[in-house]
Structure 1
Amino acid sequence: MALENVAAKGLVLLGCGKMGSAMLEGWLKGGLPAGSVWVLDPNPSDWLKATGVHLNEEITITPAVAIVAVKPQMMGAALPALRALGGGDTLFISIAAGTPISAFEKAFGATSPIIRAMPNTPAAVGRGISAIIGNAHVGEAGLNQAEELLSAVGQVVRLEGEEQMDAVTAVSGSGPAYVFHLIETLAAAGVAQGLPEALALQLAQATVAGAGALAEGAAEDPSQLRVNVTSPNGTTQAALEVLMNEDDGFPALLKRAVAAAADRSRELANG
Structure 2
Amino acid sequence: MSLGTSLGLAAAVGGALPASAEEARGRRRRIPRGGIGMHLYTMREALARDFGGTLERLAEIGYATVGVSGRHGYDAADIRRMLDAAGLRAVLEHVPYATLTGDGLPRALDDLHTLGARWPVVPSLPGALHTPGGFREAARRFNRIGRASREAGLGPVLFHNHGTDHVVADGVSLYDILLTETDPELVGFELDVYWAVRGGADPGTYFRRHPRRFPALHVKDMAADGGFADVGSGMLDFAAMFAHARVGGVRQWLVEHDSPADPFATARDSHGYLAALRY
Larger Rg: 1
Q: Normalising by structure 1, report the TM-score.
A: 0.29
Q: Normalising by structure 2, report the TM-score.
A: 0.29
Query: Which structure features the higher share of helix residues?
Result: 1
Structure of higher RCO (CA pairs closer than 8 Å, 6+ residues apart):
2
